[in-house]
Amino acid sequence: MEKIYSYAQLYEFTVNVFKAMGCSDADAALAATVLISADARGIDSHGVARLSGYVRLWEAKRINATPNIKIVHETPSTAVVDGDAGLGLVVAPFAMQVAIDKARQAGTGWVSVRNSNHFGIAGYHAMMALQHDMIGMAMTNASALVAPTFSVERMLGTNPIAVAIPAATQPAFVADFATTTAANGKLEILQRKNADAPLGWVQDKEGRDTTDANALKQSGALLPLGSDREHGSHKGYALGSIVDIFSAVLSGASYGPWAPPFPAYVPMPQNMPGEGLGHFFGAMRVDAFRPADEFKQHMDNWIDRFRKAKPAQGYEKVLIPGDPEREMEAARMKSGIPVVEAVAEDLKTVAQKFNINF
């Protein structure tokens, strides 16, 4: 059911696909690095499983393989970047680098991006800040799949937030999560297995909580983090909204139900209020607040104390955000990355299309 590929195999293939789309060597390498970081870290929904989706968006002329990505407005600590419909996988690292450069000068840097596309995993971009002793943040809006509290209409994407915080000897704190109860990728896995979803993940088209993992495909909606009003879904709805506004209303991208869909066969929304998808990035120099060594030692202390929090019965230990993905990456870089058959077949189709090896 699964085949194991090495990181290098998937990386090289992905570089070749992006080159075949017309990306420059540098852009193809960057886009592949960002995309495959998802497979390495165990976020299988956001890696090579999406490669054919990017190709179809390019075929539909919704992705520009040779974009002129540029800063269109700036202040000492902010910028707006126009992605020129480029791959989000390339636009996002450009914009995050602008945030880092701003932070070096002004203490912090905040960049809102318009006219972009799906950017892979948010965590990759946030983590770019770590090597500079900065806190990194990344978020993005996305195709509308989520209903606000009290609604049956899909108004928001899964709108993830990533925050990466450096430590000294401990590994960095890296949170990266959809602002829904469950990421869409988890639902897709259940759909493939024809298995039920837990209550609280998805509602049907009437707004009723359901265990039917296929309800989302039948005009249902994903639920905001919190699942229902009594359990705080209005908070998940607020978080998803904040991501939408920072990413798309601040930048001039298309927001809410008008966010461009990832599947190329879905028609673009009518009367879009902005251009493309939007992202938002932040970088804060730790020593803009206190000496970096001091901060990182306290982060070590924070992490160590939380790791030692008394576990509940049946659980081994408390995890620090980023632990599971880092452990997965270490294992997969050594033993390879499993790719399910359906995705492997999909990649073979892409290979044939461009007449490249897989």
What is the nearest approach in angstroms of a second copy to the Cβ of residue 34?
22
124 binds a second copy (CB under 8 A): no
Query: Which of these segments, 55-63, 83-91, 126-134, 280-288, binds a second copy (CB under 8 A)?
Result: 280-288
CA count, 13 A, side-chain hemisphere, 128: 24
Whether the Cβ atoms of residue 339 and residue 5 lie closer than 8 Å to each other: yes
Whether the Cβ atoms of residue 51 and residue 93 lie closer than 8 Å to each other: no
* Helix 51-59, helix 341-354: angle, nearest 10: 40
Q: Calculate the CA 251 to chain-centre distance.
A: 18
Three-state DSSP class for 280? strand
Q: What DSSP designation does 131 have?
A: G
200 binds a second copy (CB under 8 A): yes
Q: What's the rounded Cα separation, in Å, for the pair 116 and 41?
A: 24
182 binds a second copy (CB under 8 A): yes
Nearer to a second copy, 187 or 337 (CB): 187
Query: Which of these segments, 28-36, 122-130, 233-241, 333-341, binds a second copy (CB under 8 A)?
Result: 233-241
218 binds a second copy (CB under 8 A): no
Among 42, 53, 185, 207, binds a second copy (CB under 8 A): 207
Q: For residue 188, which phi and psi values (nearest 5 degrees)? A: -60, -40
Burial class (CB in 10 A: 0-12, 13-18, 19+), 84: middle
Indicate the Cα dihedral angle 132, 133, 134, 138, nearest 10°: 70
Query: Which of these segments, 15-23, 48-56, 124-132, 311-319, binds a second copy (CB under 8 A)?
Result: 311-319
Radius of gyration of the chain (CA): 20
What is the nearest approach in angstroms of a second copy to the Cβ of residue 3?
29
Nearer to a second copy, 116 or 181 (CB): 181
What is the nearest approach in angstroms of a second copy to the Cβ of residue 95?
13
Nearer to a second copy, 87 or 163 (CB): 163
**Contact positions with a second copy (CB under 8 A) in 143-162:** 147-153, 155
286 binds a second copy (CB under 8 A): yes
142 binds a second copy (CB under 8 A): no
330 CB neighbour count, 10 Å cutoff: 11
Ramachandran sector of residue 221 (left: φ over 0; alpha: ψ -120 to 50; beta: rest): beta
Q: For residue 328, which phi and psi values (nearest 5 degrees)? A: -60, -45
End-to-end CA distance of the chain: 17
Q: What's the rounded Cα separation, in Å, for the pair 118 and 157?
A: 11
Query: Which of these segments, 25-33, 37-45, 118-126, 227-235, binds a second copy (CB under 8 A)?
Result: 227-235
Among 168, 189, 238, 340, binds a second copy (CB under 8 A): 238
Query: Which of these segments, 15-23, 52-60, 253-261, 336-344, binds a second copy (CB under 8 A)?
Result: 253-261
Among 256, 260, 261, 276, binds a second copy (CB under 8 A): 256
Query: Which of these segments, 12-20, 32-40, 122-130, 241-249, binds a second copy (CB under 8 A)?
Result: 241-249
278 binds a second copy (CB under 8 A): no
Q: What DSSP designation does 57 have?
A: H
Among 195, 219, 289, 352, binds a second copy (CB under 8 A): 289
356 binds a second copy (CB under 8 A): no
**Contact positions with a second copy (CB under 8 A) in 40-79:** 73, 75-78
